Structure formats: structure tokens, C-alpha cells
């Protein structure tokens, strides 16, 4: 099974309750249920971590490099604005492929993500479908890398 870590950054635990006009009405628990079912169907071992603490996200990413996690998908959410330490962690962990996800289109909202330069790609603006797209993209990327090795 392909082991992928999904980190949901600051404020994402309130998904469905916080600013639904921007982030939608799907609750965090419902999103998790959908993603875990999708992951199982695609032979992905998916771990989901919600954290409001940048240091906790950083610690988990470093641990992922050492524990056999093959890819990272993350919605940095509130860390997008000032997560310089998180960005440095991501840049230092270049052996762990990273795809960034945002429910809304940040460019349309005039927001620039601090962590996006560390990502292989950014998927944004498609609501919760961004996670499905990101997991499928990560799975394809990892399959391509495995064929080369």
C-alpha cells in the first residue's frame, strides 16, 4: 500500500462551520470519511492529521520522512500566511513529495501562500474535490517514480 500523510492546517478542523460561503458546507468528519473510503479503494494507506500548531505539523513531517511515508498532501490553511518555519521544513524534506491543497482559489482572493514554493504542485479552487485530485496526483507521481527505480 502507498502510505500518504494528509495534514490539515490551522482552522481546518472547523471545516463546514467556518465561513461556509468560502470553504463549503462539508464538515471535517465527513471529508475524512470520504477520503478514507477513497484511499482504501485506491490502495492508499492514508493518515489524516488536523493541527492548529505549526510546530506539530513540522514534527509530523520530519517523522514522515523517517517512517516510510511516501508522500505528503497538505492544506496549510492558516499556516499559508506566515508559516515560514513550515516552509523551511518542507524545503528541507525534499525527499518527501509534497502537494499543496486549498479549497478556495487563493489567487482570486489575493492571497499568496508562503508554503507553495516548496510544493511540487498546488491544487486550489475546487472545494473538497481538491483532496481527491491531490491524492490521485500523488499516487500517479509515486507510481511513476517507482517505475524509474
Whether 131 is catalytic is no
70: left (phi over 0), alpha (psi -120 to 50) or beta: alpha
| Three-state SS at 45 | strand
Pick the catalytic residue: 62, 84, 98, 102? 102
Which residues are paired to 86 by β-bridges? none
Q: Which three cell numbers stand for residue 135?
A: 491524492
Rounded to 10 degrees, the C-alpha dihedral 23/74/71/27 comes to -40
Are the beta carbons of 71 and 96 closer than 8 angstroms? yes
Is 102 marked active-site? yes
Q: Which position among 23, 50, 98, 131 bears the catalytic label?
A: 23
Instruction: Provide the annotated active-site residues.
Output: 23, 102
Amino acid at each position: 500500500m502507498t502510505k500518504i500523510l494528509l495534514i490539515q492546517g490551522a482552522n481546518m478542523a472547523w471545516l463546514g462551520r467556518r465561513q461556509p460561503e468560502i470553504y463549503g458546507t462539508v464538515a471535517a468528519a465527513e471529508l475524512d470519511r470520504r477520503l478514507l473510503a477513497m484511499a482504501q479503494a485506491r490502495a492508499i494507506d492514508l493518515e489524516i492529521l488536523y493541527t492548529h500548531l505549526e510546530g506539530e505539523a513540522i514534527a509530523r513531517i520530519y517523522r514522515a520522512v523517517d517512517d516510510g511515508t511516501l508522500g505528503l498532501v497538505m492544506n496549510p490553511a492558516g499556516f499559508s500566511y506566515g508559516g515560514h518555519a513550515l516552509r523551511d521544513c518542507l524545503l528541507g524534506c525534499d525527499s518527501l513529495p509534497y502537494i499543496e491543497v486549498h479549497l478556495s482559489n487563493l489567487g482570486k482572493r489575493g492571497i499568496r501562500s508562503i508554503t507553495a514554493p516548496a510544493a511540487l504542485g498546488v491544487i486550489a479552487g475546487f472545494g473538497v474535490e481538491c483532496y481527491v485530485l491531490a491524492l490521485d496526483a500523488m499516487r500517479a507521481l509515486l507510481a511513476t517514480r517507482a517505475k524509474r527505480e
